[in-house]
A and B are shown apart, each in its own frame.
Chain A
Amino acid sequence: MIRLFTLITAVLGLVIYLAFSFRMERSMEDSVTVPSPPPSSPFEATVGASGLVEALGENVNVASIISGVVEKVFVVVGDNVKKGDPLFQVVSSQESTALASSKKELAVREAAVEVASKELAQRQDIYDRTEKLRLKNVSSDEERAQAVLVLEQAMAQLAKAQADLGLGQSRVIEAEAALDRTLVRAPRDGEILRINIREGEYAQPFVGDSALLLGDTKRLQVRVDVDEYNAQRVRSSAAAVAYPKGDHTKSIPLRFLRFEPLVVPKKSLTGASVERVDTRVLQVIYTFERPDWPIFVGQQLEVFIDAADPVSSLSPAGK
């Protein structure tokens, strides 16, 4: 009885163990699954980098020339503008008034010229008549000398009035220029990417974000940050491929444009209020044809550049 019991218990024990280990091994199974494979370099030897899409020839921060309250914004974000198109108007009542009064002043000066020339004509007439009478020996030398003096005086008066008129004209041009400065125009062709100023707001030159961001979005370029350790591996002729962040099924072939000559501290673009300076990077500018799917200025790309040498002189990072 007892031996049967212990034997059965022992055998049962082994069976339970086997069942447990089976169950346990099944719960231990792990898999390495990748929902969508990350981008892989198409090149044998590669330099991995991150890039930022920009408008070709970089974006223009359009600032106001004078400070003042914005009266009217003529464009909306996304508008395509030609060089010289008006963008926004700063309140210009003072400048318009100055122009109006300078124009009135001009009219006064024109009238003064008119008066001076009439005066001159009259003096000329007196002089002519005095001269005729003197030929007939009717008038005296003294009278003639008097007439010459008066005539010369009238000529000088006219010259002064004319000079005054010139001054008035340049005052008008000045006032017109001042008025013109209140209207900000597009410095070149492009698309309005961002508007930081609205009607009623105070526009100032050189303060914080510029009023408008203008860029040529018909053709785009990528500013690629290459880690300084990898900088010497990038050749100017090197081919490169970019993938939009978050979608690795789409790729864009890139064409080398130029190197930025200055190696700068990298900004990691997390969008956080405190941008973290990471390391120094060589910036390489690539250009590309717009793909048939949407891509936007400011978008981040993951870039692979065909490296010159497979292993290179990569030195271990000094920590």
Chain B
Amino acid sequence: MTGLIRLAFLMLYRDRAKYLALVGGLAFCTFLIAQQAGVFCGVMLLTTSTLRNVGANIWVADSRTEQINSPVSMRDIEVNRVRSLPGVAWAVPIFLGVLPAKLPDGSVQNLQIVGVDSGSFVGAPKVMIEGNIQSLILPEAVIMDQVAVEKFASRGVQLRVGSRFEINDQEATVVGFCRTRRSFSGFPHAFTTYERALEWVPPQRKLLSFILVQAKAGESEQAVVAQINGLSGLRAFTTDGFRLETMRWFFRNTGIPVAFSVVVIIGAMFGLWVTGQAFFLFVHDNLRHLASMAAMGATQGRLAVMVMFQAFFAGAVGYGIGLGLTAGFGFLVLPAETPAFYLPWQLPVAVGALVAVICFFAGGLGVWKLRTVEPAMVFK
């Protein structure tokens, strides 16, 4: 058997051009699928970046709220109603909304406003670059994220602590900087207190976006979510549940998943076609060698194992290179977070399985070609 493997390697490496075409095709196919799927995962993750920026265990929203990026506003008093429910340790309001900021030069930049509870600062930024969260209680105070610094700088406004700009004709003063995950809209985050955020938004009857809830110690989050759903008429989610619900919404209502799956299918088809063709030709060119092995007593079965081994070996090498390229791309875009890119461990596994399927079909094509091998072919 080892002899057969050695022969398989010899045969594989003998024709460099075909070997490289085989490996290159598989590497490219792996890269195309993994990279596109990675960007897709990144975009899906981006849709729930608010969940991660705010960081709460249970989210309560109006019953008609479908996903985190477009909350249906509630009445302020719902906070007190949720506080009155069993299993709730505490509940605080949060405001999420997009408001235009007027820069000193008169240009306008939309901001993703996050208004957090002024007593507990639940939902306030997790990573401060400069200043501290407590400064939010200062008048007109706002904490900006790294995206804001970039966006303002691109308009020639250098944001620093003490910088001022206008939101809806009201002054805002920067008291600190934080690091956040980019919002789905791409707008910079501006954190302030709930009360101040309400002063900035044009007056409306209902302005409360979400209620952030902590379950009492010893109570399961699922049970509390069920209690809130059953008793209040509001809609409660666990963080994971809300993430899934939001992604599901994007699947149902946007073309994003279709667009990416088309690319993945094209990648797989491309891989199948290139590899299958290259391998078929490879077997075809080596028919004489295979025939001589048959003449020396190798059975069809053993020859098939050899061909399959060749296909899977080329597949493994191509997959490795492709994955490396994908990871390299990931390293390139990780610091800036644009485009969004995320590789959960399931993704390389799935791509590997797909490559294995491709290799199986390509090898199968070669094996099918083997049928025609007979010892006499040596003399042709």
Contacts and interface: CB of A to CB of B under 8 A. Distances in A.
Is the pairing of A and B real? yes
Interface of A: 2-3, 6-7, 9-17, 19-21, 23-24, 27-28, 30-41, 45-50, 225-227, 229-230, 233, 243, 245-248, 266, 268, 270-272, 274, 276-279, 281, 302, 304, 307, 310-311, 314-319
Given A33-B126, A48-B82, A316-B231, A278 B118 contact: no
Given A10-B320, A35-B133, A266-B77, A17 B327 contact: yes
Nearest to A28: B342
24 contacts: A6-B20, A12-B324, A13-B325, A15-B324, A31-B55, A32-B56, A32-B57, A33-B126, A34-B121, A36-B121, A38-B91, A48-B81, A48-B83, A48-B84, A48-B91, A230-B81, A246-B137, A248-B120, A270-B199, A272-B199, A272-B203, A314-B231, A316-B232, A318-B233
B198 interface: yes
Interface string B272-283: 000000000000
B310 interface: no
Nearest to B79: A48
Contacts of B56: 32
Contacts of A28: 342
Contacts of A49: 80
List the 4 shortest-distance A-B pairs measured between CB atoms, nearest first: A13-B324, A48-B83, A10-B320, A316-B233
Nearest to B51: A30
Contacts of B318: 10
Contacts of B62: 319
A20 B343 contact: yes
B251 interface: no
Contacts of A279: 75, 77
B316 interface: yes
B178 interface: no
A7 B334 CA distance: 27
Interface of B: 9, 13, 16, 19-20, 23, 52, 55-57, 62-64, 75-77, 79-86, 89-92, 117-122, 124, 126, 133-134, 137, 195, 198-199, 203-205, 214, 230-234, 316-328, 330-331, 334, 342-343, 345, 348
Contacts of A226: 80
Given A16-B328, A23-B331, A310-B86, 5 more contacts: A16-B323, A35-B134, A48-B84, A314-B232, A319-B64
A86 to B, nearest CB: 38
Nearest to B342: A24
Contacts of B55: 30-33
Contacts of A243: 119
Given A35-B133, A270-B195, A270-B198, A3 B120 contact: no
Nearest to B16: A2
B292 to A, nearest CB: 23
Contacts of B233: 315-319
Contact of A3 (B13, B82, B199, B322): B13
Nearest to A32: B55
Contacts of A310: 86
Contacts of B19: 2, 6
B24 to A, nearest CB: 9
Contacts of B330: 20, 24
Given A13-B325, A317-B232, A35 B120 contact: yes
Given A24-B343, A268-B76, A233 B84 contact: yes
Contacts of B20: 2, 6
Contacts of B232: 314, 316-317
A3 B9 contact: yes
B327 A34 contact: no
A277 B205 CA distance: 7
B84 A230 contact: yes
A19 B127 CA distance: 24
Nearest to B9: A3
Contacts of B52: 30
A35 B342 contact: no
A158 B133 CA distance: 90
Contacts of B317: 6-7, 9-10
A266 B81 CA distance: 14
A34 B122 contact: yes
Contact of A24 (B205, B319, B334): B334
Of A17, A35, A248, A271, chain B has the most CB atoms within 10 Å of the CB of: A17
A35 B128 CA distance: 13
B73 to A, nearest CB: 12
